[in-house]
Amino acid sequence: LLADLGVDPARVTLEDKSRNTDENARFTAALVRPEASQRWLLVTSAYHMTRSMGLFEKAGFNVIPYPVAYRTRGGQYGLAWDFDPARNINIFSIAMKEWIGLAVYWSTGRIDHLFPGPKDTAV
């Protein structure tokens, strides 16, 4: 895709050894050696952004969050309630996985803040 968009493939470095986001942050840091003065755009699912930010910050990246793939029902529903139990249980389980992940990562020192978030994102 990047080559199709005109990016020289020689300028692209891929990290392809990780099995999870924690490894991805650490392995990517080893590949690119981020410096404190550099800013890095972190693109990941909106529901996964908080934990990802914590992991990439811990790995030495100064990240700017760019959340994608929001899990919404769309604007046509407005603020209407969703009474579909299966969908609600699925959404709740996704949220619980992230909340538990944040608590475990924080308590084990994998992230520095229980709720990582953007610092100063002004460019």
- The domains of the chain are located at 9-107
Residue 11: DSSP 8-state: G
Q: What is the pTM of this model?
A: 0.79
Q: What would the pLDDT profile of 63-110 be if each residue is shown by its tens digit? A: 999 999 876 666 666 666 778 888 888 888 988 999 999 999 999 999
Tokens of 31: 């590949």
pLDDT, residue 74, reads 63
Q: Is 22 helix (H, G, I), strand (E, B) or coil?
A: helix
**pLDDT, position 118:** 76
d(CA 55, CA 123): 22
Which pLDDT tens digit goes with each residue over 36-49? 999 999 999 988 89
Q: Is residue 122 scored above 60 in pLDDT?
A: no
- For 10-18, what is the mean pLDDT? 92
Tokens, residue 61: 């990246």
| Residue 73, pLDDT score | 60
Q: Are strands 63-68 and 40-45 parallel, antiparallel or unpaired?
A: parallel
